[in-house]
């Protein structure tokens, strides 16, 4: 995880942009506290699109069947997906 002061966005924009494009999101701090995360448009669209696609698929499945999942099944699957995503990012 890359953390930079928010002033770098103004003073070193090209460096921040290169980091975002090469390495992923950059976390910006203001007065030593987290302020925002900067990511590329491609990263944002991937995250947003994935969520929208999953919600649309869930709506279609719910309308087509009486099958339902428990809280543990749903959140266990989400946790597993997040862990797998972290592992693939580390490689």
pLDDT digits (tens, 9 = 90+) for 43-66: 888 887 777 888 888 888 889 988
Q: What is the pTM of this model?
A: 0.55
Distances from the Cα of 75 to the Cα of 53, 69, 70, 78, angstroms: 17, 10, 9, 5
Under 8 Å between Cβ of 38 and 25 = yes
In the prediction, which pLDDT does 90 show? Answer: 60
User: Span 54-83, mean pLDDT?
Assistant: 86
Burial classification of residue 27, based on how many CB atoms lie within 10 Å of its CB (0-12 exposed, 13-18 middle, 19 or more buried): middle
Q: Please, which pLDDT band fits residue 9 given cuts at 50, 70 and 90?
A: very high
Which of these, 20, 67, 60, lies nearest to 43 by C-alpha position?
20
Bridge partners, 2 (sequence order) = 26
Lowest mean pLDDT among 5-9, 42-46, 49-53, 83-87: 83-87
């Amino acid at each position: 995880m890359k953390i930079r002061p928010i002033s770098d966005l103004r003073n070193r924009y090209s460096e921040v942009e290169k980091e975002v494009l090469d390495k992923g999101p950059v976390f910006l701090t203001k007065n030593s506290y987290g302020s925002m995360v900067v990511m590329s448009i491609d990263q944002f669209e991937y995250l947003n699109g994935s969520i929208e696609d999953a919600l649309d698929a869930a709506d279609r499945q719910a309308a087509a069947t009486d099958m339902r999942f428990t809280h543990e099944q749903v959140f266990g699957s989400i946790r597993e997906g997040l862990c797998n995503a972290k592992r693939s990012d580390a490689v």
